[in-house]
Chains A and B, each alone.
Chain A
């Protein structure tokens, strides 16, 4: 597998949960989520893909939306975590830490076992 294909595959599996996790503290609008992802480096290549992702998460009931006015600007659609979205984040968190520990363990100690 080419190495950039590998990065794409890895991103695909986690990006949805990263976005959900970003909505945990407070509702955010799409552009805000994108800025946060951008500030955290390599998580997203095509920023526009966050919008269909949010739309899909809404139809799956993981997030809810509401329009909010912005002073001196156009209204923004804010995304808020639903109850099932909160559950999904918690589940992913547990799963991720286990998964990450296993992979770390193999890469750090694998050769010595």
Chain B
């Protein structure tokens, strides 16, 4: 085996190790790579005749770079933690936007996403029913009620007006409030 080929095998191994450890702090990554580079150099120095097979054997004993990276992450930071933060993706953001703007589509996406619990999905679907389209539909019926209450005594008219005003206010805030709630549930994941 030529010296360049040996150097190439070692470089490839160290490069794979570096790629596997990109999520680690530069300090610990550099320390581990440096130690392993020294280890390889020292072990190679001890080989009486270096061949492809002996060098491969050396690298094989060191193990899969993925295993070394996993050990570096330790039990406190398993690789899955990277995946959990990524569970909050385009689907969830789209679901939240469409839940206010285009309710049926938003609600379907809400149920498609695996991130929220069933309870949160139910709340998100029913409070308020139909998002802004639903709220506007309900509010469009209010003028019938005000028209009917005008026929009665003045205090009925005033009370009905106040109640409808409160309902409208709540109904206009509710969709935004629900989006904020669902978004905070996402961040809690």
Contacts and interface: CB of A to CB of B under 8 A. Distances in A.
B28 interface: yes
Main secondary structure of the interface of B (DSSP, over half): helix
A55 to B, nearest CB: 5
Contact of A49 (B41, B42, B63): B63
A66 interface: no
Contact of B72 (A47, A55, A73, A77): A55
Given A31-B42, A76-B38, A59 B68 contact: no
A32 to B, nearest CB: 10
Interface stretch (B29-37, B138-146, B162-170): B29-37
Nearest to A77: B35
A55 B32 CA distance: 7
Interface in B23-57: 28, 31-32, 35-36, 38-39, 41-43, 45
Interface string B67-103: 1111110100000000000000000000000000000
Chain A contact patch, size range: 10 to 19
Contacts of B39: 30-31, 34, 48, 51
B5 interface: no
B72 A74 contact: no
B189 interface: no
A45 interface: yes
Given A55-B32, A77-B35, A48 B68 contact: yes
Interface of B: 17, 28, 31-32, 35-36, 38-39, 41-43, 45, 61-65, 67-72, 74
Given A45-B63, A48-B17, 12 more contacts: A30-B39, A31-B42, A46-B61, A47-B62, A48-B68, A49-B67, A49-B70, A55-B72, A56-B28, A56-B71, A56-B72, A74-B38
